[in-house]
Homo-oligomer: A and B are copies of this chain.
Amino acid sequence: MPQLRKDPVLKQWVIISPERGKRPSDFKKIEETADDPKTCPFCEGNEHLTPRETLAFRTSGTAANSKGWWVRIVPDRSPILAPEGDSGREGIGMFDAMNSIGVHEVVIETPRHDIGLQNASLEQVREVIWAYKQRLLEIKKNPRFKHFMIVKNSGKGVSNFSHSHSHIVATPIIPKRIEEELEGAREYYHYHDRCLFCDIIKQEAKEGSRVVYEDDQFIVFCPFAARFPFEMEITPKHHESSFELIENHMVGSLAKALQTALTKMQSLLPGQPFNFVIHTSPCSDSYKDFYHWHIEIIPKLTKIAGFEWGSGFYINPTPPEDAAKMLRETKVD
C-alpha cells in the first residue's frame, strides 16, 4: 500500500508509492499514449478493459459495464491512494506517516475517442458536471476522507490517454495547497468579515482588464498574480463554498463558462497540453463562510526551473492583462 509521509519542515504530505518500484532505468522509458480506439479502455465497447464502474449515466435498460453510457466513472487501475485499509497513522521517530487511504477514480467524459470538453455538445459538458457532483456527494459520505478534488490532465506529455477524461481524488488529509488557501481566506475573513474570493471577484468584474468571460452566475478571469501564462480561474459570482452543492439552475451556466474558457485557450494555443483542477471546501461546515470554490485552468507552456521549486516564486512571462485581452478577443462559436 502506498504510504503518506509528512515533511516536518514544510508540513507537506508526500505519497510514497513503492508498488510502482521505480528503479533508475525506469525513468528512461517514455510512457505510451493509448491512441488507438480499438485498445483504448475508455472507448464504448471496451468496458471490460477498466475496473467495474462506480457511476454511469446510461440508457435505461443497458447493463452496468456494457455499452450504452454517455458518462462513466471507474476506479483508476494504478490508484495513488488505496480505497481500503487502516489509516495506519504512526510516528517513526520524529517523523509522521500513515497509509495512503483514499479514492482515485477516472471520469470518462464521453464514449467517443475524438471528442474533448471543448468540442463536445454543451449538453455533454453539463452531464460531466452532473457526474462530478453526484459521485462527489457519494464519496463524501465516507467520513475518513477530509478533502476531494477533480483534476484533468490533457494533452501529450501530461496524460497517458488521449480519450477525454478526468480524475476524482479523495484524501485522508487536507492537501497543503488547500490548507494555504484556507489560511489566506480565513485571515482575510477574520479581519474584514468578508469572503476574500468574493472581494477579488468584485474587483475583477469592476476593473475588467483581466476578465475573459462572464454571465450572471460565473466569471472567468486571469488572476492578478497568475503563476503561469494564460492561467485562468472560473468562480461562481455569488458566495458558494462547495462545488458539489452546485444548484441545478447553475450547472448550465458553469458548463458554458468551462467550455468557453477551454475553447478560447485551445484556439489561442492549439495543441498545447493543459490541466484544470476544481478546488472545493474540505468536508466540514467550518469553512463555508470564507472558502469559495473555483476551477483553476493552466496551460502547460513553461517549465518549472530550479528557482521556482527552490523559492516557490513563479516567473510568468505573460502579464495576465495581456493574456486576458487575447483570450477575450478570441472568438468562439
**Secondary structure of the A side of the interface?**
mixed
Q: Which one of B15, B179, B277, B304 lies within 8 Å of A304 (CB-CB)?
A: B304
User: In the complex where A93-B207, A305-B158, A318-B22 touch, is A175 in contact with B10 (Cβ < 8 A)?
Assistant: no
Tally A residues with Cβ within 8 Å of B: 88
Q: A190 to chain B: closest CB distance in Å? A: 14
- Is A103 an interface residue when CB atoms closer than 8 A count as contact? no
Which residues of B have CB within 8 Å of A141?
Answer: none
- Chain A residues numbered 10-47 whose CB sits less than 8 Å from any CB in chain B: 10-18, 20-24, 26-27
At the interface, yes or no: A9 with Cβ under 8 Å from chain B? yes
Say how far A63's CB is from chain B's closest CB, in angstroms.
Answer: 32
Please give me the residue from chain B that is nearest to A10 by CB atom.
B180
Contact of A176 with B326 at beta-carbon distance under 8 Å, contacts A7-B224, A306-B151 already known: no
Which of B23, B184, B225, B310 is close to A5, meaning CB atoms less than 8 Å apart? B225
Q: Give the CA-CA distance A178 to B307 in the complex, in Å.
A: 12
B181, A10: Cβ atoms under 8 Å?
yes
Chain copies in the assembled complex: 2
> In the complex, A222→B269 CA distance in Å?
39
Contact A178–B311 (Cβ < 8 Å): yes
For A18, give the chain B residue with the smallest CB separation. Answer: B319
Binary B-proximity of A305-333 (CB < 8 A = 1, otherwise 0): 11101111111111110100010000000
The answer for the CA separation of A12 and B175 in the assembled complex, in Å, is 17
Q: Which residue of B lies closest to A151 (CB)?
A: B306
> Are A311 and B176 also in contact (CB < 8 A) when A197-B9, A200-B8, A317-B22 are?
yes
| Chain B residues whose CB sits within 8 angstroms of the CB of A261 once the complex forms | none
Does the CB pair B16–A184 fall under 8 Å? no
Q: Which residues of B contact A272 (CB under 8 A)?
A: 27
Interface pair B93/A317, CB less than 8 Å apart: no
A17 touches B316 (CB 8 A): yes
Stretch of A54-62, A250-258, A295-303 at the chain-chain interface: A295-303
Measured between beta carbons, the chain B residues less than 8 angstroms from A311 are 149, 169, 171, 175-178, 277
Contact A312 B177 (CB under 8 A): yes
* 8 closest residue pairs by CB, A with B: A277-B310, A275-B306, A177-B312, A176-B312, A175-B311, A7-B225, A20-B317, A22-B317
- 7 residue pairs from A and B, CB less than 8 Å apart: A7-B224, A8-B196, A9-B180, A15-B316, A26-B317, A94-B200, A158-B305
Known contacts A80-B315, A153-B307, A298-B309; 5 additional CB pairs below 8 A are A7-B227, A14-B316, A22-B318, A151-B306, A277-B307
